[in-house]
């Protein structure tokens, strides 16, 4: 029994409701010896994906807070860390009003925003702390002045971070519908983080921030051992009570928080103190000396020229490394589907016989009682259509064998992709049938990697051309093509009812009347409706199934005349024939499509490029066209859109920067970091040999732009403040860079560390950890394989861009002011 959810309904809710019905029937109606096995539950894959992403959010939050503690101290880290849950809660409160629900794209947006949403809080809290510890103002006055001083650049920085996501709101097509949740979630979260930083963080700082200038450098005073011991015993007692009443999750969580407090009290506090007393001052001095060195003589120009040269070199290195360019990042299959299609008209029994042979070959690969295999299920006719079939009607000439695997972490390192490759080889060579092997697809549904459309006017000529081109490609020696298959069914059996118009007219019967009678008998006519709660169903009148498949019964159906009823056979005779299964059209032209999957290890772009080159040696008649569509078409459209989105984002950022600085030069300095950040992306992908995803790498580059620009704004704005106070240019640049060193490093480190768990595929089951002390730690999985490309793009780009912000931006600022002064002296 196959259960399919309605379009637009929640998959998990539908699955759980089905499970509940089965459980109830087992308890109340089914016999005890009836064995029920539930297989292919797709909601479990969704649950696992959402759960893993949610755990990654928690892990990323933990990493972000840890790095904040080392540089800002425990109290300030707590103030800043609060921005993450508060911003997320505000975003979650608004999303249902927009009709959005939590899904894996929304959760990934939260992971992406883990480090970004704390940027505003970092800058605000760090500036308040600087005022509190270095000025004569009260905490309230210090918070007002600090927040007011930095408010405009924080607002501008947030707008520039939002700007790259605005063009993505206009992403059309199936890819746009899939990815729309990311820009919406990011924009909502960033706006919420701005409100938290400007309103809530100053309030928290006034209430809780210590005014001791050296509090971050001192080991916190230890409570009396007796007080700490009593408090610990109270927490342990409460935890034991929760264990006794059957809620170990809460009890273990309390014990974990107690352990974290004790670890911070006895171990982290001394480490934080050592870091701030020894390591951070050395880092600040090294940066101060580095900036001084760069600003000597012609070195600012050499720095700019060297970075430009490095950009060119990185492009050359990427070209030499030639990483694969893919549409979406690939992952290990959770399901393998073996599709079998036999000639139209094949009997159900014959299709079933071939399917059983396929099953035997599949089991030769899997073996009996394979521990990583959940189930092997076969469908003949009903449920055998693939996701690429345009006609969902069950066909007796089609079948499917589905293999379901256990979760990634339970496979003991066995590659399901290797199993797929073995099955693909094993099922070859069955005469009279077309067999394809596919896997489940993550992300939006696109066409097959090889999708060739042949279009023209004359259908017979089109068929001949398709057959000739298919043989041409098969004989061309292009590697990587699994098996080209045509969507044209030439010998589709059909039954023609030939009406004798002379006889029909003599009875006063029209051809339409005969057709209407047969249509009602076979397909049925709605005669009423049945309503169940909010659902409404047609009640159709038609013949029983046994009569619908009996030609004699159909021909004996009665037609009303003036002289009484007569059978259809009195005016018509059946004729058996064959025809085309369907005639497809695109842009009003007849079209036949050839499709194929790729063999493992081959790249779709490379294989399609070879097919495109081979067209030069193939004679295409006038009036006919051969084009590569499907996934390739989607990929080209997506790449084009992301290119336009990037330029639009840069344009929006430029407008925001010009409005703040009232200058052209400073926005250009800041925007140059977006281009130079590509050095990190190119070198990173070339060095580690990662695949470049058109969609995810492209979005990563767009996301990096906003973060890089924000850091540049914070730095240049403060240099302008120092110069307005009368400081010398070089002194202002050096002091501005040294003062903004901490927030720039923190914003970059928090963003990078928030993405690290997803990038490396680190998974920890926090619910299992607290509920049963089973964290189920493992590396890899579907989320890392799918989203890793985007995460690594941001890590590579932002990591290199942070170095540029700290060194190249001051150098370019210095060059800009000097050049402007030189022009004034020459032409005024």
Find the CATH number of the domain harbouring 565.
3.30.2090.10
> Quick check: is 204 in a domain?
yes
For residue 199, count other CB atoms closer than 10 A to its CB: 10
Average the pLDDT over each of 577-591, 654-668, 718-732 and give the range with the smallest value: 577-591
> Quick check: is 672 in a domain?
yes
| Per-residue model confidence as pLDDT tens digits over 736-769 | 888 888 888 888 888 888 888 888 888 888 888 8
The confidence score (pLDDT) of residue 491 equals 62
> Quick check: is 369 in a domain?
yes
Residue 130 phi, psi dihedral angles, 5° rounding? -65, -40
The confidence score (pLDDT) of residue 598 equals 84
Mean pLDDT score, 180-190:
90
> Quick check: is 387 in a domain?
yes
Is residue 181 located within the same domain as residue 110?
yes
Question: What is the H or E stretch that residue 631 is in?
Answer: helix 631-661
Sign of CA dihedral 802, 803, 809, 810: positive
The confidence score (pLDDT) of residue 211 equals 53
Are the beta carbons of 11 and 42 closer than 8 angstroms?
A: yes
The confidence score (pLDDT) of residue 827 equals 67
Nearest to 436 by CA among 385, 376, 477: 385
CA 635 to chain centre: 15
The confidence score (pLDDT) of residue 325 equals 84
Is residue 104 located within the same domain as residue 189?
yes
Which pTM value belongs to this model? 0.79
Residue 262 reports pLDDT greater than 60: yes
Is residue 82 located within the same domain as residue 18?
no
The confidence score (pLDDT) of residue 217 equals 44
> Quick check: is 458 in a domain?
no
Question: Which of residues 633 and 242 earns the better pLDDT score?
Answer: 242
Average the pLDDT over each of 27-41, 207-221, 317-331, 422-436 and give the range with the smallest value: 207-221
Is residue 70 located within the same domain as residue 209?
yes
Residue 223 reports pLDDT greater than 50: no
The confidence score (pLDDT) of residue 400 equals 93
Lookup: tokens for 75: 């109290």
The confidence score (pLDDT) of residue 225 equals 67
Residue 11, SS3 per DSSP: helix
The confidence score (pLDDT) of residue 805 equals 86
Q: Give the total number of structural domains in the chain.
A: 4
Residue 223 phi, psi dihedral angles, 5° rounding? -65, 160
Confidence of residue 392 (pLDDT cuts 50, 70, 90): low
Structure-derived torsion over alpha carbons of residues 814, 820, 824, 827, reported in degrees to the nearest 10: 130
The confidence score (pLDDT) of residue 402 equals 92
Lookup: tokens for 782: 């579907």
Place of tokens 């061309």: 476
Select from 408, 441, 474 the last residue of a domain.
441
CA 708, CA 698: separation in Å to the nearest integer?
16
Average the pLDDT over each of 31-40, 460-469, 487-496 and give the range with the smallest value: 487-496
> Quick check: is 703 in a domain?
yes
DSSP code, position 180: T
What b-and-e string marks burial along 2-24, b requiring 16 or more CB atoms within 10 Å of the CB? eeebeeeeeeeebbeebeeeeee
| Per-residue model confidence as pLDDT tens digits over 688-697 | 988 898 888 9
CA 400, CA 339: separation in Å to the nearest integer?
5
Residue 794 belongs to domain with CATH number = 1.20.1640.10
Alpha helices for 117-179 (secondary structure H):
118-134, 139-162, 173-179
Confidence of residue 332 (pLDDT cuts 50, 70, 90): confident
Lookup: tokens for 784: 């890392």
Is residue 818 located within the same domain as residue 717?
yes
Is residue 95 located within the same domain as residue 155?
yes
Average the pLDDT over each of 53-67, 302-316, 500-514, 793-807 and give the range with the smallest value: 53-67
The confidence score (pLDDT) of residue 215 equals 46
Confidence of residue 97 (pLDDT cuts 50, 70, 90): confident
The confidence score (pLDDT) of residue 371 equals 92
Question: What is the H or E stretch that residue 537 is in?
Answer: strand 535-541
Is residue 315 located within the same domain as residue 382?
no
Is residue 124 located within the same domain as residue 21?
no
Confidence of residue 309 (pLDDT cuts 50, 70, 90): very high
pLDDT cut 70: percent of the chain above it: 95
- How many residues make up the chain in this entry? 828
| Per-residue model confidence as pLDDT tens digits over 621-646 | 888 899 888 777 788 888 888 889 98
Residue 437 belongs to domain with CATH number = 3.30.70.1430
Lookup: tokens for 610: 């070879």
Nearest to 438 by CA among 389, 492, 471, 486: 389
Domain residues for 34?
Answer: 11-38
The confidence score (pLDDT) of residue 268 equals 76
CA 640, CA 581: separation in Å to the nearest integer?
36
Side-chain half-sphere of 343: how many Cα atoms within 13 Å? 9
The confidence score (pLDDT) of residue 420 equals 93
Average the pLDDT over each of 129-138, 532-541, 545-554 and give the range with the smallest value: 129-138
DSSP 689-739: TPPEEHHHHHHHHHHHHHHHHHHHHHHHHHHHHHHHTT--HHHHHHHHHHH
Are the beta carbons of 575 and 414 closer than 8 angstroms?
A: no
Are the beta carbons of 779 and 763 closer than 8 angstroms?
A: yes
The confidence score (pLDDT) of residue 212 equals 47
Average pLDDT, the chain: 85
Is residue 53 located within the same domain as residue 118?
yes
> Quick check: is 607 in a domain?
no
CA 539, CA 523: separation in Å to the nearest integer?
12
The confidence score (pLDDT) of residue 531 equals 87
Are the beta carbons of 251 and 236 closer than 8 angstroms?
A: no
CA 257, CA 72: separation in Å to the nearest integer?
21
CA 206, CA 128: separation in Å to the nearest integer?
9
For the ranges 77-91, 220-234, 468-482, the maximum mean pLDDT occurs at 468-482
Is residue 756 located within the same domain as residue 697?
yes
Nearest to 65 by CA among 51, 50, 39, 84: 84
Average the pLDDT over each of 242-256, 353-367, 413-427 and give the range with the smallest value: 242-256
For the ranges 113-127, 146-160, 411-425, the maximum mean pLDDT occurs at 411-425
| Per-residue model confidence as pLDDT tens digits over 472-528 | 998 888 888 888 888 776 666 778 899 999 898 888 899 999 999 999 988 888 899
CA 577, CA 568: separation in Å to the nearest integer?
19
CA 696, CA 58: separation in Å to the nearest integer?
23
Place of tokens 């969902």: 392
Is residue 101 located within the same domain as residue 59?
yes
- 136 burial level (CB within 10 Å; 0-12, 13-18, 19+): exposed
The confidence score (pLDDT) of residue 774 equals 85
Cα angle 178-8-1, degrees, rounded to a multiple of 5: 115
Confidence of residue 800 (pLDDT cuts 50, 70, 90): very high
The confidence score (pLDDT) of residue 213 equals 42
The confidence score (pLDDT) of residue 490 equals 65
> Quick check: is 455 in a domain?
no
The confidence score (pLDDT) of residue 682 equals 94
Mean pLDDT score, 530-559:
86
CA 744 to chain centre: 28
Residue 571 phi, psi dihedral angles, 5° rounding? -125, 0
Is residue 507 located within the same domain as residue 413?
no
Beta bridge partners of 492: 579
Residue 435 phi, psi dihedral angles, 5° rounding? -120, 130
Question: What is the H or E stretch that residue 214 is in?
Answer: none
Are the beta carbons of 454 and 466 closer than 8 angstroms?
A: yes
DSSP code, position 590: E
Rg (CA), the chain: 34
Mean pLDDT score, 701-705:
87
CA 56, CA 763: separation in Å to the nearest integer?
7
| Per-residue model confidence as pLDDT tens digits over 577-603 | 766 666 777 777 888 888 888 887 788
């Amino acid at each position: 029994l196959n259960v399919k959810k309605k379009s637009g309904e929640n998959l998990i809710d539908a699955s759980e409701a089905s499970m509940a019905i089965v459980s109830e029937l087992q308890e109340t109606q089914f016999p005890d010896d009836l064995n029920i096995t539930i297989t292919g539950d797709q909601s479990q894959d969704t649950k696992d994906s959402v759960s893993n992403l949610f755990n990654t959010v928690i892990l990323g939050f933990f990493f972000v807070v840890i790095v904040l503690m080392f540089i800002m101290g425990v109290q300030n880290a707590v103030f800043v860390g609060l921005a993450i849950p508060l911003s997320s809660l505000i975003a979650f409160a608004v999303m249902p009003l927009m009709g959005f629900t939590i899904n894996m794209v929304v959760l990934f947006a939260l992971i992406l925003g883990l480090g970004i949403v704390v940027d505003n809080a970092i800058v605000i809290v760090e500036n308040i702390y600087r005022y509190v510890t270095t000025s004569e103002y009260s905490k309230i006055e210090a918070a007002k002045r600090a927040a007011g001083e930095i408010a405009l650049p924080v607002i501008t920085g947030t707008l520039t971070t939002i700007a790259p996501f605005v063009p993505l709101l206009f992403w059309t097509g199936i890819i746009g519908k899939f990815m729309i949740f990311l820009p919406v979630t990011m924009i909502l979260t960033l706006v919420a983080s701005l409100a938290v930083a400007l309103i809530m963080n100053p309030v928290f700082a006034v209430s809780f921030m210590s005014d001791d200038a050296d509090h971050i450098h001192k080991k916190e005073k230890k409570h009396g051992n007796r007080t700490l011991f009593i408090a610990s015993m109270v927490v342990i007692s409460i935890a034991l009570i929760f264990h006794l009443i059957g809620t170990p999750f809460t009890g273990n969580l309390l014990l974990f928080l107690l352990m974290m407090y004790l670890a911070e009290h006895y171990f982290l506090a001394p480490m934080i103190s050592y870091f701030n007393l020894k390591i951070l001052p050395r880092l600040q001095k090294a940066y101060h000396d580095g900036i001084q060195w760069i600003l000597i003589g012609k070195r600012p120009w050499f720095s700019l020229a060297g970075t430009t040269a490095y950009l060119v070199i990185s492009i050359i290195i990427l070209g030499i490394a030639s990483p694969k360019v893919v549409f979406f990042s690939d992952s290990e299959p959770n399901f393998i589907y073996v599709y079998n299609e036999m000639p139209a008209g094949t009997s159900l029994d014959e299709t079933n016989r071939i399917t059983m042979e396929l099953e035997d070959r599949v089991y030769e690969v899997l073996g009996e009682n394979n521990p990583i295999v959940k189930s092997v299920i076969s469908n003949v006719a009903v449920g055998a259509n693939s996701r690429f079939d345009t006609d969902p009607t069950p066909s007796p000439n089609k079948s499917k064998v589905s293999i379901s695997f256990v979760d990634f972490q339970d496979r003991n390192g066995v590659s399901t992709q290797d199993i797929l490759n073995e099955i693909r080889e094993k099922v070859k060579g069955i005469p009279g049938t077309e067999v394809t092997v596919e896997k489940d697809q993550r992300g939006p549904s696109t066409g097959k990697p090889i999708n060739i459309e042949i279009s023209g006017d004359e259908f017979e000529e089109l068929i001949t051309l398709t057959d000739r081109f298919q043989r041409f490609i098969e004989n061309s020696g292009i590697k990587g093509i699994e098996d080209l298959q045509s969507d044209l069914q030439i010998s589709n059996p059909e039954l023609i009812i030939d009406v004798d118009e002379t006889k029909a007219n003599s009875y006063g019967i029209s051809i339409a009347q005969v057709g209407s009678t047969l249509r009602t008998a076979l397909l049925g006519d709605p005669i009423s409706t049945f309503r169940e709660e909010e659902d409404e169903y047609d009640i159709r009148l038609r013949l029983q199934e046994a009569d619908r498949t009996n030609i004699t019964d159909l021909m004996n159906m009665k037609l009303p005349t003036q002289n009484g009823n007569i059978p259809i056979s009195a005016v018509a005779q059946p004729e058996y024939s064959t025809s085309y299964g369907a005639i497809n059209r695109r842009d009003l032209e007849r079209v036949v499509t050839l499709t194929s999957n790729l063999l493992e290890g081959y790249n779709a772009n490379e294989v399609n490029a070879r097919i495109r080159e081979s067209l030069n040696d193939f004679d295409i008649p006038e009036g006919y066209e051969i084009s590569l569509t499907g996934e390739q078409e989607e990929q080209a459209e997506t790449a084009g859109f992301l290119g336009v989105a990037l330029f639009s984002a840069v344009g929006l950022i430029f407008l925001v920067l010009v409005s703040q600085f009232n200058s052209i030069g400073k926005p250009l300095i800041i925007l140059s970091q977006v281009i130079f950040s590509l050095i990190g992306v190119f070198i990173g992908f070339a060095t580690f040999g990662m695949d470049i995803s058109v969609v995810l790498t492209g979005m990563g580059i767009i996301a990096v732009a906003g973060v890089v620009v924000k850091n540049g704004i914070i730095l240049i704005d403060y240099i302008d403040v120092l110069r307005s106070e009368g400081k010398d240019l070089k002194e202002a640049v050096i002091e501005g860079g040294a003062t903004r060193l901490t927030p720039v490093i923190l914003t970059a480190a928090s963003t990078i560390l928030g993405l690290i768990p997803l990038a490396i595929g680190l998974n920890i089951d926090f619910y299992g950890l607290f509920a049963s002390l089973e964290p189920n730690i493992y590396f890899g999985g579907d989320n890392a394989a799918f989203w890793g490309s985007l995460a690594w793009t941001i890590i590579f780009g932002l990591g290199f861009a942070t170095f540029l912000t700290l060194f190249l931006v001051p150098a370019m600022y210095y060059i800009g002011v000097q050049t402007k002064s030189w022009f004034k002296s020459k032409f005024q």
